[in-house]
Chains A and B, each alone.
Chain A
Amino acid sequence: MKQRQPPKLARKLFEWYCGQAKVNDLLGDLDEWFYLNQKNKSALAAKWLYWKQVLSLVFSYAVRRRKQQAKVSDFASSSFSVAILNNYFKIAARNLYKHKYFSIVNAVGLAIGMSVSLLLITLYVHVCTFDNFHAQKENIYRVITSHRTVDREWELALSPFSIAERLNSELVGIEKTVRINSSFSADVVSGNLNIPLQGYYTEPSFLQVFNYPLISGNPLSALQKPNSILLTETAARKLFNTTDVLGRTFEVTGQGNFEVAGVLLDPPKNSHMVFEALVSHSTLPPAEQTYSGDFKDWTEFGRQYVYVRVKDESATAGLEKYLAELSGEASKRAEAKIDFRLQALTDINPGRDLVAGLGQQWDTTGLIIFGVICLLILLPACFNYANISIARALKRSKEIGLRKTMGGLKNQIFFQFITETVVITLISLLGALIIFYFIRAEFQSMMVSGSMLDLSLTWKVSWAFFIFAMFTGLLAGFFPAMHFAGLNPIQALKSQGGKRSSKNRIRKGLTVFQFSLSLCFIIALILFSRQYQYTLNFDFGFQREGIVDVQLQDVKPEQFRNEFSKLASVSKMSMASHILGVSMTSAQVRSVDKNDSLDVAHIFIDQQYLDIFKLKLLAGKNFPNEIWQREKYIIVNEEFVKDFQLGTPTEAIGKLFSIGGKDVEIIGVMQNFNYRRISQKIGRFLFRMNPEEFVVANLNVNFLDTYGSLAQMESVWKTLEPEKKFEARFFDDEIRESYDFYETLLKLVGFLGLLALSISLLGLLGMVVYTSETKIKEVGIRKVMGASTPSIILLLSKDYLKLMLWATLFAIPVSTLVANNFLAAMQHYHVTLSFWDILLSLAILLGLGLATIASQTFKTASTNPAETLRAE
Chain B
Amino acid sequence: MKTYLGEFEELVLLTVASLGEEAYGVSIQQDIETRCKRTISIGALHSTITRLEEKGFLKSWLGGATQERGGRSKRYYEITQAGKKAVAESKNMRDELWSLSKVKLSLK
Contact = CB atoms under 8 A, between A and B. Distances in A.
Interface of A: 24-33, 35-36, 52-53, 55-63, 65-66
Contact of A28 (B43, B46, B65): B65
Contacts of B43: 53, 55-60, 62-63
A61 B62 contact: no
B99 interface: no
Given A35-B68, A56-B41, A24 B46 contact: no
Contacts of A24: 62, 72-73
B88 interface: no
Nearest to B64: A28
Interface in B72-101: 72-75
B31 to A, nearest CB: 13
Contacts, number: 73
B46 A62 contact: yes
Nearest to B46: A62
B77 to A, nearest CB: 10
Nearest to B76: A25
A52 B44 CA distance: 12
Contacts of A60: 42-44, 46-47
B49 A62 contact: yes
Contacts of A56: 41-44
12 contacts: A25-B62, A25-B75, A27-B70, A28-B70, A29-B74, A30-B42, A56-B42, A57-B42, A58-B43, A60-B42, A61-B51, A63-B43
A32 B46 contact: no
Given A27-B72, A28-B74, A60-B47, A33 B42 contact: yes
Contact of B66 (A32, A57, A61): A32
B104 interface: no
A63 to B, nearest CB: 8
B74 A25 contact: yes
A60 B47 CA distance: 6
Interface centre among B26, B42, B44 (most CB of A within 10 A): B42
Interface in B31-53: 41-44, 46-47, 49-51
B24 A29 contact: yes
Given A28-B25, A53-B41, A60-B44, 13 more contacts: A26-B46, A27-B70, A28-B65, A28-B69, A28-B70, A32-B69, A36-B26, A53-B42, A55-B43, A60-B42, A60-B43, A62-B49, A62-B50
A60 to B, nearest CB: 3
B51 A29 contact: no
A32 B44 contact: no
Contacts of B66: 32
Contacts of B47: 60-62
Contacts of A66: 50
Interface string B8-25: 000000000000000011
A136 to B, nearest CB: 59
B19 to A, nearest CB: 14
Contacts of A31: 68-70, 72
Interface centre among B44, B47, B54 (most CB of A within 10 A): B47
Contacts of B50: 61-62, 65-66
A26 B70 CA distance: 12
Nearest to B50: A62
B24 to A, nearest CB: 7
A22 to B, nearest CB: 9
Contacts of B26: 29, 32-33, 36
A570 B64 CA distance: 118
Nearest to A49: B42
Nearest to B42: A53
Contacts of B25: 25-26, 28-29
A375 to B, nearest CB: 47
Contacts of A27: 70, 72
A380 to B, nearest CB: 48
A32 B71 CA distance: 10
Interface centre among B24, B65, B75 (most CB of A within 10 A): B75
Given A61-B50, A62-B49, A65-B50, A25 B44 contact: no
A30 B66 CA distance: 13
B43 to A, nearest CB: 3
B48 to A, nearest CB: 8
Shortest 8 CB-CB contacts between residues of A and residues of B: A28-B72, A60-B43, A56-B43, A62-B46, A25-B75, A28-B69, A61-B47, A29-B25
B23 to A, nearest CB: 12
A33 B51 CA distance: 23
Contacts of B74: 25, 28-29
A58 B65 CA distance: 23
Contacts of B72: 24-25, 27-28, 31
A65 B43 CA distance: 12
A31 B65 CA distance: 11
Nearest to A33: B26
Nearest to A58: B43
Interface centre among A28, A30, A58, A63 (most CB of B within 10 A): A28
